[in-house]
């Protein structure tokens, strides 16, 4: 996140140190979640991973319009409200856990009060479902993603999901062997998230909102293997999360590069992030269009992005081995829905691009001059910052290498 130019613009309030402190604080919380051994540590680590991101969302670029700043405040309030409700549910679940087991340790519980333990499990899962953007706790995701600064959107779509998965793994490991309610709840969350996310994403015309609903659908795939009592479930969920993070981050970096104004202004959601702004991108700007197409095929699980295909197979394997066939059927149907979501975007990338206005106004004699066309075309396109170019190159290389040898996912 610190590589984005938006944070490095001149300002009299010292934005860069503030952003650095907030990002490091949120990242520290995300790292601490999977290592939590008791409920107190889990709650504190999750909030440490969440609350700094609220400040990052509201920390709009000083060059934004008043409407953009107001939208950032709306997105931050939505995220803050969600975080408070999530924390309240998890605190209540922790109280029931202690009442049922007599301890706050996240070990396999021993209790005779299975009903109270089941209530604790449902409340804790509901709180974590807010963090991972699982249905029906997903409403904050499209609002916050669309109104936050785009670098913060990328952070929320990737690092915060790592923290949420860490919390889910800790909880499922503790409860999965003694309480079937936990696994059933995870299965329902996965099925609902995949289906609702893909169906709503099909109707989106803005790339950021499409990726927001894609996050909801992909959250279902991350949850999918955790619904099975399998030794491979945690590995499968973690592997899929890594593939999702790489694909989504690559797509968002390209979206930001395409949306960057030619005048050098701030990058915000709007006409530059519309799906129509990507028409013919593979032909006009192949160094951005091809990596974006590869990222979308990774999320869809289609060749030549074999990495995404292998990740989906690995996520389905624990469910099939456990015999939860209804969930496997729902996942298979959502594979087709997901392909429709991402191929629709890829088709836009491959379309014939709209003629540039400057070229339309040029006389036939001027059109014969190739140098003049190149000069006008270059002037109409903003230069991609070196940092974004490096990010696109590195992430594309990761996808290509992972597709050639996807052994780390297996």
3 state SS of 231 = coil
For 91-114, b where at least 16 C-beta lie within 10 A, e where not — what string? ebbbebbeebbeebebeebebeee
Alpha-carbon distance of 87 to 217, in angstroms, equals: 23
- Does the structure show a pLDDT above 50 at 370? no
Cα 23 to Cα 149: distance, rounded to the nearest angstrom? 14
Give the pLDDT score at 344.
93
> Which burial class, exposed, middle or buried, applies to 148 when counting CB atoms under 10 A from its CB (0-12, 13-18, 19+)?
buried
Nearest CA-CA partner of 185 in 104, 93, 110: 93
Q: State the CB neighbour count (10 A cutoff) for residue 170.
A: 23
Residue whose C-alpha is closest to residue 37's, from 95, 120, 103: 103
Structure tokens belonging to residue 239? 């592997």
Mean pLDDT of 370-396: 65
Question: C-alpha dihedral over 91, 77, 149, 126, to 10 degrees?
Answer: 30
pLDDT digits (tens, 9 = 90+) for 34-53: 888 888 888 888 888 888 88
Which pLDDT belongs to residue 333? 94
Residue 73: the pLDDT is 84
Minimum mean pLDDT range among 41-55, 101-115, 204-218 = 101-115
What is the pLDDT, as a whole number, of residue 369? 42
pLDDT in tens, 127-141: 888 888 888 888 888
Q: Is 103 or 344 the better-scoring residue by pLDDT? A: 344
Is 341's pLDDT higher than 80?
yes
Q: Which of 305-309, 373-377, 382-386, 387-391 has the highest mean pLDDT?
A: 305-309
Spatial CA neighbour of 149 closest among 30, 63, 87: 63
Query: Would the pLDDT of 55 be above 90?
Result: no
Rounded mean pLDDT, 168-178: 70
CA distance 100 to 92: 12
Global pTM reads 0.83
In this structure, are residues 252 and 206 in contact, taking their beta carbons and an 8 Å threshold? no
Look at residue 297 and tell me whether its pLDDT is greater than 90.
Answer: yes
CA dist., res. 347 & res. 278, Å (int): 10
Max alpha carbon distance in the chain (Å)? 88
Note the pLDDT tens digit of each residue in 344-354.
999 999 988 77
């Amino acid at each position: 996140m610190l590589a984005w130019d938006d944070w490095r613009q001149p300002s009299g309030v010292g934005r860069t140190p503030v952003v650095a402190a907030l990002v490091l604080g949120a990242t520290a919380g995300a790292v601490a979640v999977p290592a939590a051994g008791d409920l107190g540590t889990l709650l504190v680590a999750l909030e440490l991973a969440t609350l700094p991101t609220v400040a990052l969302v509201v920390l709009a670029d000083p060059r934004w319009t008043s409407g953009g700043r107001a939208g950032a405040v709306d997105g931050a309030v939505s995220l803050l409200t969600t975080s408070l409700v999530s924390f309240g549910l998890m605190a209540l679940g922790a109280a029931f856990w202690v009442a049922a087991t007599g301890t706050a340790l996240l070990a396999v519980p021993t209790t005779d009060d299975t009903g109270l333990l089941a209530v604790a499990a449902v409340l804790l899962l509901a709180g974590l479902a807010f963090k991972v953007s699982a249905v029906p706790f997903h409403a904050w995701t499209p609002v916050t993603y669309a109104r936050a600064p785009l670098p913060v959107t990328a952070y929320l779509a990737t690092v915060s999901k790592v923290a949420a998965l860490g919390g889910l793994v800790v909880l499922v490991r503790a409860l999965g062997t003694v309480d079937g309610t936990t696994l059933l709840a995870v299965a329902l969350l996965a099925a609902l998230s995949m289906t609702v996310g893909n169906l709503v994403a099909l109707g989106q015309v803005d790339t950021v909102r499409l990726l927001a609903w894609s996050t909801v659908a992909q959250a279902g795939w991350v949850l999918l293997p955790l619904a099975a009592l399998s030794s491979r479930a945690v590995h499968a969920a973690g592997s899929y999360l890594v593939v999702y993070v790489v694909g989504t981050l690559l797509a968002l970096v390209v979206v930001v590069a395409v949306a960057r104004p030619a005048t050098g202004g701030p990058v915000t959601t709007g006409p530059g992030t519309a799906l129509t702004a990507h028409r013919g991108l593979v032909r006009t700007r192949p160094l951005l269009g091809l990596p974006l197409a590869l990222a979308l095929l990774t999320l869809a699980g289609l060749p030549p992005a074999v990495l995404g295909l292998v990740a989906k197979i690995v996520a389905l394997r624990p469910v099939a081995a456990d015999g939860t066939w209804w969930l496997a059927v729902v996942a298979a149907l959502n594979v087709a829905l997901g392909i429709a979501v991402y191929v629709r975007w890829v088709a836009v990338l491959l379309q014939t691009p709209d003629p540039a206005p400057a070229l339309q106004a040029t006389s036939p004699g001027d059109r014969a001059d190739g140098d003049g066309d190149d000069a006008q075309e270059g002037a109409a396109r903003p230069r991609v910052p070196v940092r974004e170019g490096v990010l696109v190159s590195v992430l594309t290389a990761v996808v290509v290498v992972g597709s050639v040898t996807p052994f780390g996912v297996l």
